[in-house]
Structure 1
Amino acid sequence: MCGIVGFTGRENALPVLIKGLYSLEYRGYDSAGVAAFTKEGLRVVKTQGRIANLEEKIKEEGGLCCTCGIGHTRWATHGEPSDRNSHPHLGGKDGMGKVAVVHNGIIENYQDLRTRLEKHGYAFQSETDTETVAHLIDYLHTGKQEDLAQTVLAAVQRIRGSYALGVVSLDNPDEIVAARRDNPLVIGLGKEENMIASDITAIISRTDRYIILDDNEVAIVRPDGVTVMNEFGETLDKPVQTVTWDMSAAEKGGYEHFMIKEIMEQPKAVGDTVRPRIQNDSILFEECGLTDERLREIENIHIVACGSALHAGMVGKRVIESMCRVRCSAEVASEFRYENPIIGKKDLCIVVSQSGETADTLAAMRLAKQAGAFTVAIVNVVSSTIAREADGVLYTWAGPEIAVATTKAYSAQLAALYMISVRIARVRGHISIGDEKALCAELRRLPRLIEQTLACKEQMQRIATRYANRASVFFLGRGLDYAAALEASLKLKEISYVHSEAYAAGELKHGTISLIEKGTLVVALATQPALFEKTVSNIREVVSRGASVVLVTTDDFTGDESVCRHIVRLPKCLSEFSASLSIIPLQLLAYYVAVERSCDVDKPRNLAKSVTVE
């Protein structure tokens, strides 16, 4: 959540900061600001609204020329979105800010710190927890410690909560001090310039070399070098990593929005995730610790995730239980971590997260590790916190996903869970070598089938145009189709702000049907042949009460089609993998409804790409 960028070098930092902030827009924000060293001293410009508003305000105030600065896009947690609550925040007495701070995360003990600092003469200008950090650093810097990095080390030891910090001080006008705990922060390494950022997208236009800060580490970033220290102030030798994708992967490439670009990239994302792991008609997971011996001994599987990743996990749960006959649960990470879950030492915990930084998922994984379970992470971001801390990691090679609403990363997560299902089933003797070979062939076919499904693009655009004005939409499905319906409903509400709900079709009579009235749009999914007749029965129930029905089904659907206003047909696919196809037209439906309603598709209100706080 939120975005941090910082630059120190030999050229004007402002264009670099602004470009970096734009690249972090997808993380979600409601205000933006920069702090920079100028001839007049440490100067802060910030404003509510979009980065374009910040650029305009900087022009109105006469511009900003500097070689070192920090910037921030804020998503409100403490205090409403406003100019005064925007970052950066200044630390100092009598309105004389000597220190500026940008911060992602939440300071849990900020009220206690604020009370103490007010007793020392500090006057607060905002409602934020971050201003507490700025004043605390100023207090320690001027009264106790002259070295800024040592001051930050002393400050974070007094902080309880999560943070990624970028700090600058008038005493060191070419230096940025960075620190992190439970929030991502990378350091970009350039030639006579270096950067800090919330993620790689903000540095890729300047350099492809970077360092990842780990929890409780502090970095001193200057134009001529970077020094990283642990919590004891000891210098660390951090490995330098290289970005494996180029800048074009984070650009629209001629599409109107990132979301539609990423929808169309799903065949490649799934193919890149599947192909390297299928060798000689068998799935290999040795590199992530899922040895045959471990898979044979599994007693229970816990899939833990949030949002769309959880919906992928719900599909995975059904496929695993059906194919492998091992007990599997799919649970919301924020609930799992607090419900005192029963976890055994022979259990497998699969955590799913696009960013690899999701706070609740990370905490749930740590809980499972403490209980002795073997943890495997399905993540899309290399070297993310979850990827580094899990016992094994299964990367989804979807490439950078910029739109807030996930599409291609979700599809890659499904593919990863399918592969885990197939391997467990083979190792435990529930399928033969021939069955595994056939299933591997189906997995290799998935990218082509997804590409064929994308041909419904124009049909979904027409349907979206017709129903974009509906106040409520309901999605119905059974089994795997219910799990897919949950994801479809989330996509629609995320980006179009249309109220939508997904229900297990068998629950219609238990209250839900009272919401159906004339003109209500109902989207029904029917991809499981054994459930066709029951789904048609549910469709009849809503049609008889005035609903208009869009049916998403397979080419071999057998049922009365006359009750449906629109039918979207999917290529024939193994029913266990059907969720990979059924979601495609519904992603397109959500996208085109949002476009029709003039919504900000890639940056929906109140949402962030990476949820790094509880």
Structure 2
Amino acid sequence: MCGIIAIISREPVAGRLVDALKRLEYRGYDSAGVATLIDGELHRRRAEGKLRNLEARLAEQPLSGTIGIGHTRWATHGVPNETNAHPHATARLAIVHNGIIENFRELKAELEADGYRFASETDSEVVAALVTREMDRGADERSAVAASLRRLEGAYSLAFLFRGNADLLIGARRGSPLALGEGDGEMFLGSDAIALSPFTDAVRYLEDGDWIVVSHGGHEIFDAEDHPVERPLRRSTGKAFYVDKGNHRHFMQKEIYEQPEVIGHTLGAFVDMTSGRSRIPGGQRFDFSAVRRIALSACGTGYYAALVGRYYFERYARIACDLDVASEFRYRESPLDDVDLALFVSQSGETADTLASLRHARDAGIRTAVVVNVPESTMAREADLVFPTLAGPEIGVASTKAFTCQLTALAALAVRAGVDRGTISGDGELELTRALAELPRLVNEALHREDQIELLARDMANHRHALFLGRGFSFPLAMEGALKLKEISYIHAEGYAAGELKHGPIALIDDTMPVVVVAPHDRVFEKTVSNMQEVAARGGKIMLITDESGTKAEAIRNARVLTLPDMPEILTPIVYSVPLQLLAYHTAVQMGTDVDQPRNLAKSVTVE
């Protein structure tokens, strides 16, 4: 997760920009930079690597200026170097950006045709040029930003600094967070309250689609339709806590809403967004072409991520996969002679059973790899290959953003494996990676269904049992949705392959049994509809999560339907996770349970 900070003050800001960026180091980054306005002119200092490199640059070439922006970048479009580091600048403005602009190629071609030239490989520089073109055509700063925002597709947070105007900052967000901090004669924009906490505890959190105009004396906030709005002033706990809940009631809810951002940054590790080519992250070298069989293993939510991973590898790379719960992997005494890669999934990298399984595979002479969220963890240190999920700290015990980042990493790895093995062509790779680039936007659209999901949760809270059904990619999601519900609401729930309904679970169906069906309009949709018919015939209460095509096609009377956008099949496990998370969350809130720390559970299980 990149970090953004912007300050408008009466005092020099460069040092404070760097101090704020230090508080955002936990988000992960590979370059950093700041820009200030000195006598009306834009000046930048940028450096590859850690913030100490930027500090050294500033010691050699100090920046004055009482208004400025700063950024820590995790590379998505373009390699991590000084040229691709933020802030990006034109003759008129400088920007910092967090997120992914999906349509940057089209916009870049359009701008190049108009004579605009680009210095970096990033999608972010396109935003700077787009606003500059509006200003070149006569628009003022705020009109230029407003017009440009309407052209952008994807998820983003942005901060703009304008040449010749020391009393203006403009910020905007869609999908990625951004907050306003209010001080005494000075104002701040930041990725979260942690960045703002050295300066103020008076914070306003922008809502999705908002953009904001900031001066020394105040601010104006506009919604996605450019209507003036107010956002409540809150007293942040950022000074007391390392990670702040922001304007969310629980850490779990905050982490659900961080998913567009963290998925984007995880994608950046596995896909070169400039070329559209998949890659092994971190400069590691591994070729899937000789891999005949993969042994997958994990615990809890990680196990369901691995189950989706099995579907990905078998579908897109045609690699046979074994899958075990980690607590069974060592004891099953399965022959491992034809296993070429043992892949383990863990949020913490310390899960006892999964770590023991990794060591078991390593002792058997198998190459090991981990999909892990903590790069300093034991598993990351002991594995041969490390595939990072850049979810950032996850405080809620029930995994949300770590899970979807695991799915994102596994999807991208499957694409890489398919390319290595020749099951995916060059054009096929571009099609899949461009589809993956849509994830932040689509996850953000799923979040916009929260009000509808809350209504479903109010009904779910009246029951003590629930069934979740799905086929294909949706089968693991059905199990994960059931796990989330029982973890935090304490409602007994089970997830089944929909085709297994008539092999036992159908005996439970009556008018008191809610049945959540996960069914995008895919190859098995009609078969899932048949299973829904079986539930409907017995009076079951159906909650259907589908897409626009599925909503048009299904004809189950009395089903409550939540409609998501149509999307490529590779994306559905990731996007459809979001309404299942929100359903569990709001059900738990309705029931008054401890959402972030449910009874009897620990975040990381470090004992067998």
Q: Note the alpha carbon deviations across 1:462-515, whole angstroms, 9 max, x for none.
A: 111122110111001111111110100000000000010011111111111001
The counterpart of 1:607, out of the listed 595, 601, 607, is 601
5 Å matches for 1:112-131? none
Shift of 1:287: 3.3
Q: Note the alpha carbon deviations across 1:56-111, whole angstroms, 9 max, x for none.
A: xxxxxxxxxxxxxxxxxxxxxxxxxxxxxxxxxxxxxxxxxxxxxxxxxxxxxxxx
Counterpart in 2 of 1:184?
none
5 Å matches for 1:137-148? none
Verify the 8 A CA contact 1:249 1:399 in the aligned structure 2: no
5 Å matches for 1:162-311? 250-279=243-272, 280-285=275-280, 287=282, 289-292=284-287, 295-311=288-304
Comparing 332-341 with 553-562, greater Cα deviation is found at 553-562
5 Å matches for 1:348-359? 348-359=341-352
Measured on the aligned residues, the alpha-carbon RMSD in Å equals: 2.1
Counterpart in 2 of 1:560?
554
Counterpart in 2 of 1:385?
378
SS at match of 1:596: helix
Provide the C-alpha distance between the structure 2 equivalents of 1:307 and 1:247, rounded to a whole number of angstroms: 32
The counterpart of 1:454, out of the listed 434, 447, 451, is 447
SS at match of 1:578: helix
Residue type matched to 1:448 in 2? R
Counterpart in 2 of 1:584?
578
Percent identity, aligned pairs only? Answer: 44
The yes-or-no answer on 1:483 pairing with 2:513 is no
SS at match of 1:260: helix
SS at match of 1:529: coil
Shift of 1:565: 2.5
The yes-or-no answer on 1:418 pairing with 2:411 is yes
* CA spacing shift, 1:374–1:289, aligned 2, 3 Å: farther
Verify the 8 A CA contact 2:515 2:541 in the aligned structure 1: yes
The yes-or-no answer on 1:473 pairing with 2:466 is yes
| TM-score, structure 1 normalization | 0.59
Q: Which runs of 5+ in 1 are unaligned?
A: 1-200, 206-244
Provide the C-alpha distance between the structure 1 equivalents of 2:423 and 2:239, rounded to a whole number of angstroms: 42
* CA spacing shift, 1:302–1:289, aligned 2, 3 Å: farther
Provide the C-alpha distance between the structure 2 equivalents of 1:411 and 1:339, rounded to a whole number of angstroms: 29
Counterpart in 2 of 1:208?
none
The yes-or-no answer on 1:536 pairing with 2:546 is no
Provide the C-alpha distance between the structure 2 equivalents of 1:427 and 1:248, rounded to a whole number of angstroms: 45
Verify the 8 A CA contact 2:281 2:387 in the aligned structure 1: no
Residue type matched to 1:330 in 2? L
Counterpart in 2 of 1:314?
307
Counterpart in 1 of 2:172?
none
SS at match of 2:376: coil
Shift of 1:417: 0.2
* CA spacing shift, 1:246–1:312, aligned 2, 3 Å: farther
| TM-score, structure 2 normalization | 0.59
Provide the C-alpha distance between the structure 1 equivalents of 2:269 and 2:549, rounded to a whole number of angstroms: 31
Counterpart in 2 of 1:405?
398
Verify the 8 A CA contact 2:468 2:479 in the aligned structure 1: yes
SS at match of 1:553: strand
Q: Note the alpha carbon deviations across 1:388-418, whole angstroms, 9 max, x for none.
A: 1010111111000000000000000000000
Counterpart in 1 of 2:9?
none
5 Å matches for 1:83-102? none
* CA spacing shift, 1:286–1:246, aligned 2, 3 Å: farther
Verify the 8 A CA contact 1:475 1:523 in the aligned structure 2: yes
Provide the C-alpha distance between the structure 2 equivalents of 1:486 and 1:511, rounded to a whole number of angstroms: 16
Shift of 1:577: 2.2
Shift of 1:553: 0.6
The counterpart of 2:363, out of the listed 363, 370, 380, is 370
Verify the 8 A CA contact 1:396 1:413 in the aligned structure 2: yes
The yes-or-no answer on 1:497 pairing with 2:490 is yes
Provide the C-alpha distance between the structure 1 equivalents of 2:564 and 2:516, rounded to a whole number of angstroms: 15
Q: Note the alpha carbon deviations across 1:296-316, whole angstroms, 9 max, x for none.
A: 111211111000001011011
Provide the C-alpha distance between the structure 1 equivalents of 2:405 and 2:581, rounded to a whole number of angstroms: 15
Provide the C-alpha distance between the structure 2 equivalents of 1:246 and 1:414, rounded to a whole number of angstroms: 33
Shift of 1:551: 0.3
Verify the 8 A CA contact 2:262 2:391 in the aligned structure 1: yes
SS at match of 1:302: strand
Verify the 8 A CA contact 1:266 1:450 in the aligned structure 2: yes
Provide the C-alpha distance between the structure 2 equivalents of 1:483 and 1:602, rounded to a whole number of angstroms: 23
Verify the 8 A CA contact 2:270 2:279 in the aligned structure 1: yes
Residue type matched to 1:603 in 2? Q
Shift of 1:269: 1.2
* CA spacing shift, 1:288–1:393, aligned 2, 3 Å: farther
Residue type matched to 2:533 in 1? R
Counterpart in 2 of 1:5?
none
Provide the C-alpha distance between the structure 1 equivalents of 2:418 and 2:530, rounded to a whole number of angstroms: 34
Residue type matched to 1:514 in 2? A
Provide the C-alpha distance between the structure 2 equivalents of 1:516 and 1:288, rounded to a whole number of angstroms: 52
Verify the 8 A CA contact 1:551 1:564 in the aligned structure 2: no
Comparing 443-452 with 493-502, greater Cα deviation is found at 443-452
Verify the 8 A CA contact 2:532 2:556 in the aligned structure 1: no
Provide the C-alpha distance between the structure 1 equivalents of 2:285 and 2:295, rounded to a whole number of angstroms: 15
Verify the 8 A CA contact 2:270 2:409 in the aligned structure 1: no
Residue type matched to 1:607 in 2? L
Verify the 8 A CA contact 2:270 2:413 in the aligned structure 1: no
Provide the C-alpha distance between the structure 1 equivalents of 2:239 and 2:271, rounded to a whole number of angstroms: 26
Counterpart in 1 of 2:429?
436
Residue type matched to 2:277 in 1? S
Q: What count of residue pairs does the alignment treat as equivalent?
A: 371
* CA spacing shift, 1:570–1:271, aligned 2, 3 Å: same
Provide the C-alpha distance between the structure 1 equivalents of 2:428 and 2:400, rounded to a whole number of angstroms: 29
Verify the 8 A CA contact 1:345 1:374 in the aligned structure 2: no
Residue type matched to 2:279 in 1? L
Shift of 1:564: 4.5
Shift of 1:289: 3.8
* CA spacing shift, 1:275–1:555, aligned 2, 3 Å: same
Provide the C-alpha distance between the structure 1 equivalents of 2:376 and 2:393, rounded to a whole number of angstroms: 14
Verify the 8 A CA contact 1:476 1:523 in the aligned structure 2: yes
Provide the C-alpha distance between the structure 1 equivalents of 2:239 and 2:363, rounded to a whole number of angstroms: 38
Provide the C-alpha distance between the structure 2 equivalents of 1:286 and 1:262, rounded to a whole number of angstroms: 24
Counterpart in 1 of 2:176?
none
Verify the 8 A CA contact 1:476 1:502 in the aligned structure 2: yes
* CA spacing shift, 1:488–1:247, aligned 2, 3 Å: farther
Provide the C-alpha distance between the structure 2 equivalents of 1:356 and 1:247, rounded to a whole number of angstroms: 27
Counterpart in 2 of 1:518?
511
Provide the C-alpha distance between the structure 2 equivalents of 1:575 and 1:416, rounded to a whole number of angstroms: 16
